[in-house]
Amino acid sequence: MQGFAGFMWLLSMALILFSGFALIDAAIRREDAYRAADKQSKPFWLIILGLAFIVNLIFNILSFLPIIGLIATIVYMVDVRPAIKGLPGGGRSRRGSSSDGPYGPWNGGR
């Protein structure tokens, strides 16, 4: 029985890490990338993935709520994330340098 409990603990930790990674990934993507990829909004995914992460922390893996959270996390990772990463710039928020103009970096005529 201890082997099964250890396996379930490892599975639970993997699920927490998976949902945490998806939450962080959704948080670093730009808001307009979600609209450009024709997906739900960034706040929607942050709420869904945040709830999935909290549910995975609180409930046992054998209940149905972590399974619902796992499905939401898988949908984000398989459908939304590749669509956003496929956009130019990868959907990540970037800060431009002080030499960036409206059409890209200014190279001083070089």
Class of residue 29 by CB neighbours under 10 A (exposed 0-12, middle 13-18, buried 19+): buried
Q: What is the pLDDT of residue 97?
A: 55
DSSP assignment of 64-75: HHHHHHHHHHHH
Q: Which helix (H) or strand (E) holds 11?
A: helix 2-28
pLDDT (tens digit per residue) in 51-87: 999 999 999 888 889 999 999 999 999 999 999 988 8
Q: Maximum Cα–Cα distance for the chain, whole Å?
A: 71
**pLDDT band at residue 107 using 50, 70 and 90 as cut-offs:** low
Average of per-residue pLDDT across 31-43: 91
Q: Of 6-10, 34-38, 58-62, 91-95, give the lowest mean pLDDT range.
A: 91-95
* pLDDT beyond 80 at 18: yes
Average of per-residue pLDDT across 24-40: 92
Integer-rounded Cα radius of gyration of the chain: 19
